[in-house]
Amino acid sequence: MRLAAALAALAFVWASITPALAQELPQETIQIGLSTDRIAITADFAGADLTIFGAIENSDGLLARQGRYDVIVVLEGPSRPVVVRRKARVLGMWINVDSETFDNVPSSYSVATTRPWQDMADPEKYRQLSLGANNLHIAPVDAKGAPATIEEFTAALRDLKTKTGLYSERIGGVQFLSANLFRARLSLAPNVPVGTHRARAFLFRNGVFIKETSAQLAIYKSGFEQTIYRFASNHSLWFGIFAVVLAMITGWLGRIIFRKD
């Protein structure tokens, strides 16, 4: 009887202190740092690779050695409205016959992962986090259209972004340098948009999402391109008039130089 009572008392004490011990155990966190927080776009800019370094804090040493941690790093450009148009042949000419406007579409989206998507987490978790180009929440301004039509234009938008290099991914682009330190390489397309971009890092443990952190990257035009960009933004009417006049003068000079007497 005394042994049974002692065991019962021990079980009660263990049950009482276990939640407290669990609360004291720190949860893993993730931190990142960019190799640069400003990138200048010049006339000869042909794209670049951005390196992001990071660390997992309070990680479990055994899980780290077993490769149970996964990291997904994303660089997302500023969101802007986008109009997708569909062309059709009418009376021998290709013209726009239909269009769909989408709001708050990331202008660029680069992602790097430690492993293939199916090996890191459940696809439903990616959809919940809107993680990955195929899982981005892209909604039309007019949501009353036919679902099949909206889905078609959404797929066309993603395909266009991918073909132009604005949406890209690198499977295995995140590499662990040690048990806690990692490095990610992301691609910047030659036509990467200017503005404030956001780098985000997602930490997974055994397929379970744990933590997210972010940092900012400024991409801006430099030199003569910056002067033209500012003038076009601040004086759009005069810039349009100047462009038309310049085109007329260029055409007139070309006609004089290359005319045949």
Same domain as 148, residue 47: yes
The verdict on 41 and 70 lying in the same domain is yes
Q: Quote the CA–CA distance of 32 and 73 in Å, as a whole number.
A: 9
- Domain identity same for 250 and 149: no
Q: Which residues contact 193 (CB under 8 A, 6 or more apart)?
A: 77, 78, 80, 107, 108, 166, 219
160 and 256 both lie in a single domain: no
Residue 73 is assigned to a structural domain of this protein: yes
Same domain, 122 and 213: yes
What pLDDT score was predicted for residue 10? 45
C-alpha dist (Å) from residue 159 to 15, 110, 134, 153, 164: 55, 14, 10, 10, 9
Q: Given this model, what pLDDT does residue 7 score?
A: 45
Whether 122 maps to a domain, the answer reads: yes
Asked if 126 and 251 sit in the same domain, the reply is: no
pTM: 0.74
> 148 and 244 share a domain?
no
Task: Tell whether 149 and 209 lie within a shared domain.
Answer: yes
Q: Are residues 32 and 110 in the same domain?
A: yes
CATH number for the domain spanning 160: value is 2.60.40.10
> Which residues face 181 on adjacent strands?
55
Cβ atoms of 167 and 187 closer than 8 Å: no
In a domain, 45, yes or no: yes
How far, in Å, CA of 204 to CA of 129, rounded? 12
According to DSSP, residue 19 is labeled H
For residue 257, the enclosing domain spans 223-261
**Is the residue at 15 inside a domain?**
no
What is the total count of domains within the chain? 2
Q: Based on the fold, state whether residues 190 and 230 are members of the same structural domain.
A: no
Domain presence at residue 156: yes
Confirm whether 149 is domain-assigned.
yes
Q: Does residue 2 lie in a domain region?
A: no
201 with 231, same domain: the answer is no
Dihedral angle computed from the Cα positions of residues 177, 178, 180 and 182, in that order, rounded to the nearest 10 degrees = 10
In a domain, 6, yes or no: no
Per-run averaged pLDDT (10 residues), the chain, 261 residues: 48 50 67 89 84 93 91 95 81 74 92 95 94 89 79 90 93 94 93 93 95 94 63 67 77 70 55
Q: What is the pLDDT of residue 22?
A: 43
Residues 72 and 190 in one domain: yes
Q: What is the pLDDT of residue 253?
A: 73
d(CA 36, CA 31): 15
